[in-house]
Amino acid sequence: MMPSRRDIQPKPRTVVVIGHGMVGHRFVQSLRERDQAGIWRVVVIAEEADAAYDRVGLSSYVGAWDRSSLALHGNDYAGDDAVQLRLGEAVTAIDRGGKRVVTNRGFEIGYDALVFATGSYPFVPPVAGHDHDRCFVYRTLDDLDGIRRAAEASTPGAAGVVVGGGLLGLEAANALRLLGMTPHVVEFAPRLMPMQVDAGGSAVLQNLVSDLGLHVHTGVGTSSIADGPEGESLTVTLSDGATIDAALVVFSAGVRPRDAVAREAGLPVGERGGVLVDSACRSADPDIYAVGEVAAVDGRCYGLVAPGFSTADVVAEQLLGGSARFAGADMSTKLKLLGVDVASFGDAMGETDNALEIVYSDPLAGRYAKIVLSDDARTLLGGILVGDASAYATLKPMVGREIPGDPAALIAPAAGESGIGLDALPDDAEICSCNGVSKGAICSAITEGACDVAAVKACTSAGTTCGGCVPVIASLLAASGVEVSKALCEHFSQSRSELFEVVMVTGIRTFSELIARYGTGSGCEVCKPTVASILASTSSDHILDGEQAALQDTNDHFLANLQKNGSYSVVPRMPGGEVTADQLIVIGEIARDFDLYTKITGGQRIDMFGARVEQLPQIWRRLVDAGMESGHAYGKSLRTVKSCVGQSWCRYGVQDSVGMAVLLEKRYRGLRSPHKLKFGVSGCARECAEARGKDVGVIATENGWNLYVAGNGGQSPKHAQLLARGVDDTTLVAYIDRYLMFYIRTADRLQRTASWLESLDGGLDHLRAVVCEDSLGLAAQLEAAMDRHVAGYRDEWAEVLADEEKLARFVSFVNAPDVPDPTVRFSDGEVAGDRKVPVLLDMPRLRPQSSTDRRTEREGVAT
């Protein structure tokens, strides 16, 4: 039987993408999301060995030296058969007639459409000595690795020269500072960041960065670079005759489009380089497109990621028959350089005819603000903010619109964030320039049910790239009329953090008193365990003391994890993953004697499954006698501190990661918190303990410890973020004390550290200010609270064993304490395939997942 015409699927066409940076990856994602019919097959050819990563955040690589932390989501296209990624391979030639590309590995790959996403390359001025082996550029992860090696080989505090005082130049200078060098910035223009900031703003910026240890040389060029007198350093000679004795030089003097292959293929290029394309991002060859920095749209190249993303989306639409066009780009920028806020938007330099300017400058406070107005002072044209850019998110959408009220109020200190209310912004005002999301789109998402920042992000993509618009999203939520109750539940109108403060201030130690004075009713399954956690976090009382026992959920009530068959699992603590041979023997004997299934957990511990409730104290007794204690696997508290073997055994280790892991686990064991906590301590940057995926991650460097916070696994995994680098043992512990106690005091019920940090006003910068700079004056209070916890810690299992009243709880039947639960019975296992698996009668059959030789049966019992 011949197949019908509708059964015949057309062969997919091939689009070859040259380059796999942020914009190239955006194009692939955009095309794959739109191409529901499977029209296109994608081949990505990337010269770098690393798949697409966040080049905008390149400086965050310094100190962490973890390439995976910069990887863009989905950059390996795992599971997508329609995308082939070829890393470490370069296109050397294009045969336009034969519609194929040739690579440096000798491969020829045919295409139906070709997309240039080659980006740009650093411009290196042709000064004498620019090719010295201690001269670098600042563009890729490999570049930073080379700079790191040269910096580490130099004398601590040695000078490093950065040629170029623009955005990337200051980023490079900060990298040198973090590597322990003394940065010198040489800028040919008369001011720093000449493309984004005017003279007044640059003067304030220069003062701010000079206070941070940068030496700034403006209005001069670099004449030559040569070996120093003894060959151990470089002599950098400036155009004014001054010299700098430096250990290395980093060129960051601008970029040029990477269009060499396109030129050789005969494609027209722009006056200043770049593949010349029209508003559809199509070149003179109708089958060849260009996106990102290499695209000269109507002759102009755009060096920011937001317009690059726009060009990527345009080409994706074009390949699927759409009519999308590139409509120009918003070149506004908001940056944080060396901790200093800098923003410019619209006509920042006042180039519009007859433009007016209003300037506020306070060099002592380190603040500069300027707005540019139309000649009638009614329309906002642009502006510059230095030192405090909090008004940027509200001012930028107002560009080109009439200003309500007094223009000077927009930047006056008394105006706070801005004198403009969000209600003055029209619906078509663009809030998220990275993804082109308007105020109207955000408000529509809120109206349709998005009631928090995370939901708005998911619906609109606003705030998912640079995050600069998140404060405005939060304000729109607050102003939308969607009332988000802070009440913990129907019995308490207060939030968890407010109840925490009530308990701290009043000294209330029971749920009944708290609900009588500050709540209503008798409580529920939400408020009872929450209050129980607060009480446990603010004292060292046993969680089964008095009425607290009745507040706990099942796991906390029995100090063990309830499993799906009604039995419990027991997890003893193994600080840092360490365990003695005698303790291993005891665990094995317990598992044998109580017929328990054992499994090594992901947190370097041993889990024992299948214990009945009345057996728990018997098991604990033997573990406690062997010197072990509760691992709190059942509690919203510290679970594990995972570690590698560190310098004790590993040839790459630079610090004692096991010793630090043991110290931290013993310090924070038993600490009750809004959600479970997991730590990781790695002995070097190879990161074998996976610390970047933990609530607290500690990574060893030769200069001390780098501290990362708020990483989570789960359904929405988050990388931990760098809070402090190069700290000693004492400082590390102090910072972790403050961070944990601040989280415990302010987080919502069942809120993981990652979502807590995301919802925290000011985000990581605010957290760093609180923890590292003591901006709220809470450091001593937070550390004292942790010291009280450490001093009052007692093992919960041992406390039960020493208290007959508590022991009486651990029975299957209160009226027949010596009778075991007959509904839990173990018998020989059943073979499934080539493995034996536990089978639960009257419950769904388990998929093969263990090699146990038992099965668990549940049988009906008369009441």
Closest residue by Cα to residue 591 from 575, 574, 611: 611
B/e letters for 197-227, b = 16+ CB within 10 Å, e = fewer, are: bbebbbbbbbbbbeeeebebbbeeebbebee
- pLDDT of res. 849: 31
Alpha carbon 523 to its chain's center: 37
Helix (H/G/I), strand (E/B), else coil: 853: coil
The DSSP code for 258 is -
* Domain spans in the chain, listed from the N-terminal domain onward: 11-121+257-319, 135-253, 496-552, 553-630+795-813, 637-794, 825-857
Helix (H/G/I), strand (E/B), else coil: 225: strand
* β-strand partners of 696: 679, 709
Q: Is 688 part of any known ligand binding site?
A: yes
- DSSP assignment string, 777-801: S-HHHHHHHHHHHHHH---HHHHHH
- The CATH topology of domain 135-253 is FAD/NAD(P)-binding domain (3.50.50)
Closest residue by Cα to residue 637 from 675, 589, 682: 675
Closest residue by Cα to residue 383 from 196, 207, 225: 196
Measured CA to CA, the distance from residue 629 to residue 409 in angstroms comes to 62
Query: Does the global pTM surpass 0.85?
Result: no
Q: Is 644 part of any known ligand binding site?
A: yes
Looking at domain 637-794, does it have CATH number 3.40.50.10860? Answer: no
Label each residue of 558-573 as H, E or C: HCCEECCCCCEEECEC
- The CATH topology of domain 11-121+257-319 is FAD/NAD(P)-binding domain (3.50.50)
Can you list the positions of beta strands (E) in 548-619? 561-562, 568-570, 597-600, 606-611
Closest residue by Cα to residue 536 from 566, 562, 503, 574: 503
- pLDDT of res. 622: 95
Helix (H/G/I), strand (E/B), else coil: 578: coil
Closest residue by Cα to residue 48 from 147, 176, 122, 143: 143
CATH of region 553-630+795-813: 3.90.480.10
- pLDDT of res. 415: 45
C-beta of residue 397 within 8 angstroms of C-beta of residue 436: no
Backbone angles phi, psi at 217, to 5 degrees: -125, 105
Measured CA to CA, the distance from residue 215 to residue 409 in angstroms comes to 35
Q: Is 524 part of any known ligand binding site?
A: no
Alpha carbon 674 to its chain's center: 21
Over the chain (863 residues), the average pLDDT of each successive run of 10 is 52 95 96 94 96 88 81 91 96 97 96 97 94 95 94 91 92 89 95 92 91 92 90 90 96 94 96 95 97 95 90 96 87 76 90 91 89 92 89 83 83 56 71 77 82 78 70 74 72 90 90 91 86 87 79 82 85 92 95 92 90 92 95 91 89 90 94 93 88 92 91 80 92 96 92 88 88 92 94 92 88 56 49 43 34 32 27
Measured CA to CA, the distance from residue 734 to residue 742 in angstroms comes to 12
Q: Determine how many CB atoms are found less than 10 A away from the CB of residue 295.
A: 32
Domains 135-253 and 637-794 share a fold: no
Helix (H/G/I), strand (E/B), else coil: 805: helix
Tokens of 666: 């013993």
Write the CB contacts of 672 (distance below 8 Å, at least 6 apart in sequence): 533, 536, 537, 543, 635, 636, 637, 744
Q: Is 459 part of any known ligand binding site?
A: no
Closest residue by Cα to residue 441 from 420, 424, 456: 456
Q: Are strands 825-828 and 854-857 parallel, antiparallel or unpaired?
A: antiparallel
Q: Determine how many CB atoms are found less than 10 A away from the CB of residue 98.
A: 11
Label each residue of 71-108 as H, E or C: ECCCCCCCCCCCEEEEECCCEEEEECCCCEEEECCCCE
